[in-house]
Structure formats: structure tokens, C-alpha cells
Amino acid sequence: MNVTLDGIGFTVPPVSICRQKSSEVAKQLSCSSDQQRRRLEALYRRSGVQSRGSVLLSEAACGAVEQDFFPPAVDHDDRGPTTAVRSQQFADHAPQLAADASRSALDESGLDPGQVTHLVVVTCTGFAAPGVDIELIQRLGLPAQTQRVQVGFMGCHGAINGLRAAQGLLAANENANVLLCCVELCSLHYQYGYDANRIVSGALFADGAAAMVLRRDSQKPSLATLVETGSCLVPDSRDAMTWKVGDHGFEMTLSATVPSLIEAGLVDFLTPWLAKRGHTIESIQGWAVHPGGTRILSAVESSLGLQPEQLATSRSVLSEHGNMSSATMPAVLRQFADRDLPRPWLMLGFGPGLEIEVALLE
């Protein structure tokens, strides 16, 4: 059985904000001294993000970008909107982004929405029931009998977990056609107050959605074939990266040790994993590495002996769109497909655990 990737859709909110403007907003919400403002500005400059979209942004008549969801803090203890208020924004905005990305993927694949048998939704930034899955069935005109799976709260490598679920569904159902959709509204969870973890996260994360259509033994030309996925839990790394539900949004911790943990452990996992599948690090033509930040990309290069140009697409996506969590790696694949980059491609992501996730496409 071959699992073919027949379509990739990617979309971002209609309004984006540049790095300079986003740092100005962050200073208003997080800084109480000139020293903090200078440090925040320096962190934003080093983030690798030049522009990113958010569903919370609007464009004024003069062309200026505005937001009114996050009011200035009234005192040192103010942490902004509650999780319930932020979650309502997810329910209001996520379905449209998800539907737009899904339509693009379906159009490219040539699959009629009525032929979708299984729907996999990936997100870690908002939850409701009925949720995005039901909205997609209704907005896209999927069959009422569409079977649903949600991959929730797994973080930035969630697209690979979604691909693993889709592969299993296709293996178990001979006539299955799977629509996989990743939708993330990371900007909803901006954290008030001056804290190094919060500032780094606030400088990186953004909103976006990506979708993929996967079929079993497709007879049409496909973008790639999904060969296999793999996982590795990095020892002694439990607290290096966390993602938890707080009273005022979801709270991210991102230790400064994450790049060194990746650099130390990646090559020893990936080299034998690729060898068992007939590949080497040198044979991979497209590296779809999740751009969790510039230091993480540099750690991957150092561990695997890659050249900077091999991760240029990941850096480009980070610069243009920010870190959109699970929607980011499919955005890199979209650029690979647009350039008809030779295969094999390797998706490589990192998330709480610290967990390494990988997917091989030929």
C-alpha cells in the first residue's frame, strides 16, 4: 500500500504585522522599564521573524495595523483576557482559516469534498465541541458520515502526528480518502508581564492553517508518497518545553537548553532511523525542519552537518509567517511542491517531551 500526498493547502489571516510594530505592542503589554524595553527589542530583532499574521489584527483606513483584543495592563498583576475569552476567539476565527486551507488542498488533489471519508484535525491552540471538525464538514460539504479524529495539544510537530493517524486510517480502510487539517491561532495566547520565556514565545508565534489530502494507491500524479513516520523521546528533557492551560491563555515555557538538547540527541536517533529505510542524511533532498526559532534551526544544522542553504525554506517561512505551530511544516512542504524540489523530503519537528518527530516522503 502506498499513501500518496495529493494536495497541500496553506493560508494565513488577511492582516499581518511587521516585527517593529509587533515589538511596540509587546512593550506596551509586557514592559515596565526602559531596560526591559531594550531587552525585548533585542530579542525581537534576533527572532528571525519579520512578519506574521493574526486573526486579532485589523487594518485602519490609513493603512495602519491595529489590535484591540489585548488592552494595556492596568497593574503589575494584570494578565490580560481570560482563557474563556481567548477560546471564544478560536471558535470564531479558526473554522474559516481551516476551511480556506482545506479547499485549496482539495482543489489541488482533484478530490471532490463528497469523496472524503475521514477527517483529521490538528490543533493545540483552542478547543470546543462541536469544533473545527464539525465546522469543516458543514462548510466544505463533506459527507455526514465522515469519520473524525482530533490530534490535540501535541504542539509544533502535530502535523506529523496527524500524518501518522491518516496513514493508519488508510491502511485500515481500503477505499479511504483522508483530509488532514492543521489550524493554529497562537496569537490568542500572548502572555502579559516581563518574563524571558514569555518574551521569546511572544516574538515567534503566529496564526495559520494548512491542509493535506492523502489517498491510498492514488492513480493520479501525486506530490509525494508518505513512507513512514518515527518518534524519539529525548532523555532528561521533560521540563525543557511545556504547553499548559492557564487562567489567562495557554502558557508556553521554552528553556534555553532546547537547542543544545536537540543538537546532542538528533543525529544518534536520525542516522539509524534513515538507514533502516535505505537513506542517509546526505540523500535527503528537502529538509522540512520546523522553524521553532533561529537557534533550533542552527542546532539541527550543527547536529546533522547541514549547510545553511538546506534549511533556507524553513528560515523563509519563519521570516514571512512566524512559527504557526503545527501548520508550519506543511507550509514548508508547500514551497517544496511549488518548486518541484527533488525527493526524498524529511519532515522534522520538536515538541513537549522533549519529543522528536520525523516523517519521510519520497
**Catalytic residue IDs:** 156
**Cα–Cα distances in Å, from 73 out to 39, 48, 76, 164?**
19, 27, 7, 42
Is the separation of the CB atoms in 40 and 26 below 8 Å? yes
CA R_g for the chain: 20
User: Whose CA is closest to 122, among 192, 51, 216, 185?
Assistant: 185
* C-alpha atoms less than 13 angstroms from C-alpha of 42 in its C-beta half-sphere: 7
Is the separation of the CB atoms in 259 and 298 below 8 Å? yes
Is the separation of the CB atoms in 240 and 261 below 8 Å? yes
The angle formed by the CA atoms of residues 281, 153 and 101, to the nearest 5 degrees, is 75
User: Whose CA is closest to 98, among 135, 53, 124, 138?
Assistant: 135
In angstroms, the first-to-last Cα distance of the chain is: 14
Which residues fall within 8 angstroms of residue 96, CB to CB, at 6 or more apart? none
Parallel/antiparallel/unpaired status of strands 345-351 and 286-289: parallel
Q: Crossing angle, helix 294-304 and helix 258-275, to 10 degrees?
A: 40
User: Whose CA is closest to 296, among 249, 330, 328, 335?
Assistant: 328
Torsion of CA 350, 70, 58, 104, to 10 degrees: 30
